[in-house]
Amino acid sequence: MEKNKELYGGYGHEPGGLPWKNIISFVLCIILASFTLWGALYSDYTFKTLLFVISVIAFLQALLQLFYVQARQ
């Protein structure tokens, strides 16, 4: 049991379970990327507005990944 805790680090799942935190962060990244793609392809906003929105979403994704990596260490 102790070896399993060392191996998995106790982060997000128990041995034999699903890594829920990994799945949630992956789904959030996919949702943010889909929103960005939809905005770029199907909206009537100006280029400047789209660039701003895409930059904000990219920043949010970077923060999401940053907190994920920090939590694992």
CA distance 57 to 63: 10
Closest CA to 25 of 69, 66, 65, 60: 65
pTM (2 decimals)?
Answer: 0.59
pLDDT in tens, 13-71: 556 667 777 788 788 888 888 888 888 888 888 989 988 988 998 898 888 888 766 66
